[in-house]
Amino acid sequence: MVCLPVSDEQLERAAALLRTGGIVAFPTETVYGLGAVAFDGLAVARIFEIKARPRFDPLIVHVADRQQLAQCVIDVPPVAERLIAAFWPGPLTLVLRKCEAIGSLLTGGLATVAVRMPSHPVARALLERTGSPIAAPSANPFGGLSPTRAEHVAAALGDRVDMILDGGPTEYGLESSIILIEPTPTLLRHGAIPVEQIEAVIGPVQRDIPPGSATLAPGRLPHHYAPHTPLRLIAPERVPMQERTEAASLAFRRVQSGYRAALSLSPSGDLRIAAAHLFDALHRLDAAGATRIDVEPVPESGLGSAIMDRLTRGSAR
Ligand code: TXA
Ligand code: MG
């Protein structure tokens, strides 16, 4: 028997809330999601309201199994099958042609739907008990830092959701990687599965969005994942001591001196650990009352690409 970080009663209450149109925040292996039954148009509309999310930005649908997947998509092309075999359940989202049952509010009017099968035991138990696919964006106000702990959700949206399931800190700390399957496999968002691993399964994937589809992955908006405090990407040795006193610092490996608050993502230089700490560290430094957060760039390979994607967007003004 799997031991879950939430009780049976909590899960039952969460599933009952979802089945009756409620909004439940829950942990996944990537970040916390803000969930509603995917086929419940009113509940889906509430998610957009709670997050103050623009209507053109579609949600990801979470499924427990192939049966729930079949309720969302028209078909699963061979390339998608190979990715499913390699990475599901896990942090890979596939964009496939949607079924009738998936409403156009959820997909921002697109003919496709983003789907993934999460591996987190609480997310899986919730999907099974609810008996329906669950639409869930990251549980943060639009454009803000993603939540990797239940406390982050409670602080930003606590009074606006019906329930928060606390599963502790999330494992990956970065959102899922997103691949558009047709017409050509295309990376829409760097995420918890490095693109190199995806390419090892299906060969080269396109990195640029096809022409005429700029709003295809609104997570690619230049300004996103931002703390309230201005973020600056800069090599630590370039910051004079007198510029440090009122600022905060997020280093990759070695904590920097002279700052009013300073954290390191991974003293050992491990990108996986750095990814897992990224959003929590930014949430903490954002609360430090600093004028600015100086962030040290990380190497741009493997998970480093996803970390740098979040930091670049977070620092764009
Ligand atoms: O790890 C994750 O993916 C988390 C957890 C909760 O599962 N969810 C998440 O959702 O990051 P959200 O809403 O923060 O990001 C979803 C991204 C957005 O950038 C959206 O534009 C894109 O997925 N997306 C959703 N449906 C799409 C579609 N049909 N075509 C292209 N992009 C889509
Ligand atoms: Mg998000």
Q: How far apart are CA 186 and CA 210, in angstroms?
A: 8
- Name the closest ligand to CA 224: 2
Q: Is the Cβ atom of 127 under 6 angstroms away from ligand 1?
A: no
Q: Which of 26, 56, 138, 171 to mutate to test the pocket of ligand 1 (most atoms within 8 A of CB)?
A: 138
- Name the closest ligand to CA 38: 1
pLDDT at position 208: 76
Q: Which of 50, 55, 60 to mutate to test the pocket of ligand 1 (most atoms within 8 A of CB)?
A: 60
Q: List Cβ neighbours of 23 (8 Å cut-off, separation of 6 or more).
A: 17, 34, 35, 36, 43, 46, 47, 50, 160, 161, 162
Give strand ranges (E) for 192-317: 231-233, 248-251, 261-264, 293-295
pLDDT at position 4: 82
pLDDT at position 99: 97
- Tell me the CA–centroid distance for residue 239 and ligand 1, in Å: 35
Question: Which of the residues in the chain have pLDDT under 50?
Answer: 214
Q: How far apart are CA 256 and CA 245, in angstroms?
A: 12
pLDDT at position 5: 87
Which amino acid is residue 298, in one-letter code? V
- Of 112, 110, 109, 139, the C-alpha closest to 123 is 139
Alpha-carbon dihedral 194, 198, 203, 204, rounded to 10 degrees: -40
Q: Atom 18 (ligand 1): residue with closest C-alpha?
A: 219
Q: Is the Cβ atom of 60 under 6 angstroms away from ligand 1?
A: yes
pLDDT at position 231: 97
pLDDT at position 220: 67
Return the half-sphere exposure (C-beta side, CA atoms, 13 A cut-off) of residue 9.
0
Q: Is the Cβ atom of 110 under 6 angstroms away from ligand 1?
A: yes
Count of Cβ atoms closer than 10 Å to residue 238 Cβ: 8
pLDDT at position 213: 57
- Tell me the CA–centroid distance for residue 140 and ligand 2, in Å: 7
Give start and end residues of each alpha helix (H) in 71-206. 78-87, 121-130, 150-157, 195-202
Ligand 1 closest atom vs CA 114: 26
